[in-house]
Every structure is written in structure tokens, then in C-alpha cells.
Structure 1
Amino acid sequence: MQTRRAGIAASAMALALLTAPAGAGEFVPLGDGSATNNADLIGYPATECAHCSTTPPDEAGNLIDIDWSLGLRGGIKDDGSGAAPTYKLIALPSVTLKQQTIRGGYDAGLSGEISYQVDGNAHIDSLTGTVGGTYDLDALTSLAGRANLKISQDDPDGPDYASNVASAPLVLSGSAEVSAARDLGAFNLAVRGSAGREVYGETVYDDSSTSDNTFQNTTSYGAGVRLGYELTPGLVAFIDTQADIVSYDAPSPSLMVKLDNVTYAGRAGLSAKFTPTLELEGSLGLGYTDFGDETLGDFSAVLYDARAVFKPDETLTLTGALTTTVSQPGTTSGATAKLTYAATGQVEYLVNPWLKLRADASWTAAHYQGIDSEEQSWGLGAGADYLLNAHTDLTADYSFLRTEKTSAPATDEHQVTLGVKFHR
């Protein structure tokens, strides 16, 4: 009997606690109708579910995230030509706007590199604008797009220009790419398309004479497909095909014909990501370039591509890559195309929350099609970032680059830069 009375008392006490108004800071599991956990009980009685949301949240209602930075650097550069070293001040402004939505995200950014040499020569090295975004049509299908516009101008004292060049040509380039991906269970399919335009200004020489670079202006279109098959969780076998059309505005001044061409490329490889610690991807393929003019010799090349990212812990990141590219020959006389193999490696080590060390290495081997000309280079670099406070970093970098060209002496380039970076 006492047990029954105790049970009745406990039940009454629980009911009293659940029906009593909630005091400040009290936890009421079922809600009492006086807070937002049961908003309909305090709504206007003439309407049905006055506080219900009848439509999904507005995708455009999210706040735009603004990220910005400004890097100021001073450096000394010895290009290995035997001339006196050059001293340069560099400004690196950047601003990015991002917005995340229910189905994806959008971003737009503007960045630049402005340099000033001690001798009074100042110019905009590059100015880049970009806009892009992603959108999920459903749980299995996603879309992505990006457009870039860039204005750039090389250093006339660089190894790609003759000693009598006073001003390198101004280059305006724009590109756009769209892609769609679909999950088909064990298979995954991605298609992509691209378009681009590149326009070169005049080259100015020491005697104020100029040369036209219209023959380097190009319009390009491309399309590609990638099909992957999941062999095991985290291991995907894939094939990738690509076709690129390049049209030139004017004939080559050395060959007297336009270098219009179509390049076809096919690759097969494996992609692996078993844990967040290690990502691997490698492929092997064949590329073939077909020139529109019959007097030009078509050529084929073996394509090597690989990438590895290793993160054993939060303090260390190692990245390596091997790439193959076919590009236009530039101003190299008699060449129809440039085939480049490149290998790069990077390491980043976070010593503590305010100090990060960096190092990198690179190697490239380029062959100019149509002529017996080779170009090789390799370089090393090291740097450090020191977090002075939440919005200011101190930076220090050193780089070395050795370049060897056919029928030309090798050059060794050294560069040291120190600076500060302000950021959000």
C-alpha cells in the first residue's frame, strides 16, 4: 500500500512539474507554450499555424562573407645575367566575397600584384577577377561554373625576353568553364566545357620601336568527359577524355601559316582516398595534336599526371604533383607548339600556432615542336610565416631557379623577399 501511494505521489509530482510555468533557465521537455519551442500556441487564433514556415528558407537571405588581405613585400633579385641586382617593392591586394546557400555557394574575387623597382619603373604585374559557384540539383547531381579575367605583364628583364626589350606586351586573357557531375551508384560521371580568349599587346624596345604580337592571339574551346568506377570504398578507376580547339588571329611570322589546331587527349588512372591522411591520383595517357594547315607536322605525346597529398597530422602537409601540358610556342621562331613536363613538391610545417615553415621544389622540361630546342629548369624555395597578431603576418622567402636552354648559357636566379601581410 505504501509503495502504491509513493508511486501515485511521484506521478503527481511529475505532472505538476510538466504543467507548471517555466522559470528563467528551467528546462521543460514538453514545452509550456510560452516560448518559441511551441510558437503556435501563442499565435493569432484566427489563423492556422500562424508561426509555421510555409516555404523553405530564402537561399539569398544568408549574409555575404567578405575576406580580404594586403601583402606588402620588399625584395632583391639577381637574374644571373651579370647585371646588377634589382630591388623591388610589391603590393598584393586581394578581396573575396562568398555566400553559402542551401544548395551550394557562390564567390567573387579580385586580386592583383603591383610592383615598383627602385629605378622608378612601376607597373601592374597582374590583375585578376574571378566569379564562380556550385549548385546541387538534387542529392546525386551537381553543377559548377567559373569565369576568370586577367590582365598581366611580364618583367622585360626575364629570361623569355631579349636584352633590348623595354616593355613586355600587356596580355588580356579570359576563360570560362562549366561542369556537371552525376552519381550513378558504383559509377560517377562528369562532363565539362570551356571557352577562352587571349590577346597580346605590342612589345616595346629600348629604341622606342615596337613589334606586333597579333600572331599570339588565340580563341579556344574545349570539352571533356570523365567516367569513374568505384572498385572498393575509396578507390576509383577512371577514364578521362578531352578535346581542345585553338584558333589563331594571324599567321606565325616565321612559318607564314596559322597554327590552328585540335588537340585530343585520353587518360586512364586510379584515384584513392581511404582516409583524410592520404590522397593519391595517377593517370597515364596519350595526346595528339592535329594542325589545320597540312604543311605543319602533327605530333603525339605521352601524358603523365599524378598528385599526392599526405597529412599525417594537423601540423604537417606534403603535396606532390606531376603534370603534362601542351601550349602555344610564344615567340619562339619556327616552333608550332610547346610540350612541357613538370614536377612540383611542397611541404608545410606548423611549428606552433604562430609560426609556419614552408619549402618547395620544382622541375620542368619543355620541348618546342617543329624545331630542335629544349628548355629545362629546376628550383628550390623556402619561407616562413609568423603570426604577429590575429590580423597581421610577417613573411620571409628565398627562391633559387636554374634555367638551361639550347644554345644558351645557363642562368641562376636568386630572390629574397621580406614583408608583412594584413588580413581579416
Structure 2
Amino acid sequence: MPLLQHTRSLALSLVVGLMAGTALAAPALLETDPVDETTTGTVTAPTRQTVSDPALANARLRPGVYPAQPVPPEFAVGPESGESAPLDWSVGLRGTYLNSNGTGSFVTHVLPRFSYTHAGGFATIVVDGSADIAKTGGQDLPTLASGILSISGSAPIDAVTTASASASIGLTQDLPGTAGLSPSIITPPQVFTGGAEVGVTRQFGQFNLGLGGGLERTSYGPTNRSDTGLTDNSEQNYWAATANLRLGYQVTPILEVFGEGEVQRDIFDSPTASLGVYPNATNRSLRAGIAGKWNNIWSASASVGIGERIFDEATLGAIRAQLYGAEISYTPNSTVKLTAGLETALAPAGADNPGNARIQYTAFSNAQYTVNTWLRLRASANWSNSELVGTGTTERRLGLGAGADYVFNAHTSLNADYGYGNTDNSNGNTQTHQVSLGVTIAR
């Protein structure tokens, strides 16, 4: 017992020392995990309620947003609990040291999050919120690097029909010096998003039919640059309306074959300064695939299809790409969870990026292993390749990460992470090493 108490005392001293170091660090620039405009991230804590909004599930496909390391802090949620309560919350304090191409810097993060679940009566409703408040040594005031508030609900209409709806608002802003940004960017733009989706699913014998639709708004704040001063990004602001249809056939109780189609209409606020025309476009996609689930241990899906983005302006033409999608999850017991997947997206290029559109392929994997009641290990890997249509350039990113959670008691844990990132784009090649250490207090 004295040895265990001594070990915990040393760990707490290390955390306090690191936090003090961030406050005294010389002015520096730091990369932070980019977070989707509409979500907190792509890795979800296994013991927390999450929102089933598809826009949140596809965070890594958003324009200008790529996987980053280490594993997002919200994944390190502290000790597991068998209790069930309507309100769940956690607060994390994390100190991070980053070395990017030989330049080191510190940042401090405060990471509050909550989830409220109402399960009863006619519908199940989940309200979810989180934020990342960050401060580097060179900043006088903290920055809201990300914030998200969302609500989702589902309700059975009858024995074979279910309706669902979701809505969310969010804000994200990279810290100066984020890997992949132009070195001339002093203050990256704020990105505001908001949207809502509705859907209904119905079973007809062995057939499963799903209908959905949504509306989303994306707007960008100005960019402060050392070469051109304050840059207006309003030409990238747009509305997106979507409609989708999915039809599946249950071949066996385990396997289902399916086909799905989606139409998305993008309407921009203003014409581009470079071309003087509105880049309004219609996205159309068609996929076919197979999905399976066995005893809550294995779940997998794979699909292939074709997508095209057709611009209203004839001079911009049309973009076509093969669409690939796959995801597999393996959870043999409560101590092991493995996931991997591949995704494809057609999207606008985003602020501070050249080109008329972006074709992005992303592969990812995550692993979690609970060693015992006081130690959990985590690892992740991701890769993305984006083609900026109209420029002949590409962006490639690679991320590797590993982390651990050490549980002090039922509500407090020590979280440590290491991550490696490699970014190769028109701004050059950037290699980063990031080490994070912090404490999470959970309900």
C-alpha cells in the first residue's frame, strides 16, 4: 500500500509540473486535433451516450478536416462504470508538448463534456455537448478550439417503423501553427456549422427501407495572414440539402445486401473571387454493398459505388469518382474493442484551400484493451489522401497514436498519449511528435 500511494503521488506531481510548465512556456505555436465543424471527433467513448446524427459520424470526411494524433482527448473518459444515470459528464485538464519539424511548444486544454439521456415514454432523446478550450504560450486569452451541442431522438411509430431526428450546432478553430496550414496564416478562421436531419425506417418482411433528409449550414470567418492581411472567406459559405434512400434485403439473420442513393444540393452565398461565378453544385451517389452482424461480437459492412459532382456553371464541368466504403468492428468481450474502416467523400475545397472541390479517401483503425480495473490501453492509426480538383495537387496525411488511462478511483483517471503525424501538401512536409498528459474527472 505505501508503494502504491507513493506511485500515485509521483503521477500527480508530474501532472502539476506539466501544467505549470505550460503557463511558463515561451510563446509558441501548436497543433491541436482538428475537430469537425459539427462534431467532437471520430472516436467515441464506449461508456458514454453519443448522438446518432450521420453528420457527426462522418466527421473525418468534412472539408479541411483530417484525422490527427494523439487519440482525441474525449476518448480518455476515465474509469468505466456499470451505473446508469440520465446525466453523464466529465471534465479533463490536459497539458501537451508538440515538436513540429524541430520546433517545440506547449498548450493547455480544458475539456468539458456532458450527455443527457431521456429514455422513457414515447421517444428516446439524447442531448450531447462538449468543448475544447485551449491556450498556447503565445496567446493572451484562451481559444475555443471546438464546441458542439447536439440533440437526437428516435421513436417507434409501430412494430416495424421507427422515426428519428437530430440537430446540432458547432464551432471549430485551429490554433496557429496547426500542421498542414500555410505558414503565412497568423489566425485561422472560425468555422460555424448547424444542421438538422430527419429519417424513417420500415421493415417489409425481409426488406428494410430507409428514407432521410437534412439541411446543413457552413460558414467561415476571416483568416488573418501575414502576406495578404485579413482575408474574407465568405465565398466559401454555403447551404447543403440532402435526401437519401436505402433498401436492404435480409438474406439471412446475419447478412444483408443493400443499395443506397443520395442527392445533395450545395448553394453558395457568393461567387468565387478567382472565377467570378457561383460554384453551386449537385452531388449524386449510388452504392451497393453487404452488411453483417453476429452476436454483437462481429459487425461489418462493405460497399462500392460511383459519385459525381455536377456544377451549375458549365465552365466548371463535372467531377466523377469511385466511392469505396468499409467498416469492421470486433468486440469479443468487454475488455477488447477493435474497429477499422475506409471512407470516400466528394466535398467543397474549404477555406484557405485552392481548387473547386475535394475528393478524399480516408482509412482508419482504433483499438482498446482494458487490462484490469485500473488500466486501459488505446491505439489508433489513420491515413487520408485528398485531391484538390482544378489544381492538380494532393494532400496526404498519416497519423499514429497510443495512449493509456490509469484509474485512481471511481471518478478520476490519469490519461497519457503519444502521437506521430506526417502532413504533405502544397505548404511542404510537416512531421510532428505530440505528448499529452492530463487528468479526467467523470461522474
Mark yes or no: TM-score above 0.5.
Answer: yes
> Within the alignment, does 1:276 sit opposite 2:290 as a pair?
no
Within 2, Cα distance between the matches of 1:109 and 1:189?
28
* 1:85 match: secondary structure: strand
Please, which runs of 5 or more residues in structure 2 have no aligned partner? 1-83
Q: Structure 1 residues 333, 127: closer, same or farther in 2, change over 3 A?
A: closer
Would the aligned equivalents of 1:346 and 1:361 in 2 still touch at CA under 8 Å? Answer: yes
1:386-410 CA deviation, whole Å, 9 max, x = no partner? 111111111000111111125x532
Counterpart of 2:94 in structure 1 is: 73
Give me the CA root mean square deviation.
1.7
Question: Following TM superposition, by how much is the alpha carbon of 1:281 offset from its aligned partner in structure 2, in angstroms?
Answer: 0.3
Would the aligned equivalents of 2:180 and 2:425 in 1 still touch at CA under 8 Å? Answer: no
Within 1, Cα distance between the matches of 2:136 and 2:125?
37
The match for 2:145 among 109, 125, 136 is 125
Q: Return the letter of the residue paired with 1:65.
A: P
Q: Return the letter of the residue paired with 1:271.
A: A
1:198-243 CA deviation, whole Å, 9 max, x = no partner? 1111112358931111111010100000000011111000001000
Q: Return the letter of the residue paired with 1:114.
A: I
Would the aligned equivalents of 2:360 and 2:386 in 1 still touch at CA under 8 Å? Answer: yes
Which deviates more from structure 2 when the two are superposed, residues 247-256 or residues 224-233? 247-256
Q: Return the letter of the residue paired with 1:106.
A: I
**Aligned-pair identity (%):** 33
Question: Following TM superposition, by how much is the alpha carbon of 1:64 offset from its aligned partner in structure 2, in angstroms?
Answer: 7.9
Counterpart of 1:384 in structure 2 is: 404
The match for 1:104 among 120, 123, 127 is 123
Question: How many pairs are equivalent?
Answer: 359
Would the aligned equivalents of 2:180 and 2:424 in 1 still touch at CA under 8 Å? Answer: no
Within 1, Cα distance between the matches of 2:235 and 2:165?
30
> Within the alignment, does 1:235 sit opposite 2:255 as a pair?
yes
Question: What TM-score, normalized to structure 2?
Answer: 0.78
Within 1, Cα distance between the matches of 2:146 and 2:261?
32
Within 1, Cα distance between the matches of 2:354 and 2:428?
21
* 1:215 match: secondary structure: helix
Would the aligned equivalents of 1:326 and 1:339 in 2 still touch at CA under 8 Å? Answer: yes
Q: Return the letter of the residue paired with 2:130.
A: S
Q: Structure 1 residues 207, 239: closer, same or farther in 2, change over 3 A?
A: closer
* 1:225 match: secondary structure: strand
Within 2, Cα distance between the matches of 1:169 and 1:405?
19
Q: For the pair shown, which has the larger CA radius of gyration, 1 or 2? A: 1
> Within the alignment, does 1:371 sit opposite 2:404 as a pair?
no
Within 1, Cα distance between the matches of 2:85 and 2:202?
29
Within 1, Cα distance between the matches of 2:97 and 2:354?
35
1:137-168 CA deviation, whole Å, 9 max, x = no partner? 11111011110100121122123433232211
> Within the alignment, does 1:286 sit opposite 2:306 as a pair?
yes
Would the aligned equivalents of 1:79 and 1:158 in 2 still touch at CA under 8 Å? Answer: no
* 2:244 match: secondary structure: strand
Query: Which of the pair has the greater relative contact order for Cα pairs under 8 Å at 6+ separation?
Result: 2
Which deviates more from structure 2 when the two are superposed, residues 342-351 or residues 101-110? 101-110
Within 2, Cα distance between the matches of 1:412 and 1:388?
34
Q: Structure 1 residues 419, 64: closer, same or farther in 2, change over 3 A?
A: closer
1:226-267 CA deviation, whole Å, 9 max, x = no partner? 000011111000001000000111122222222100000000
The correspondence of residues 159-308 of structure 1 with structure 2, limited to 5 A, is 159-206=179-226, 209-308=229-328
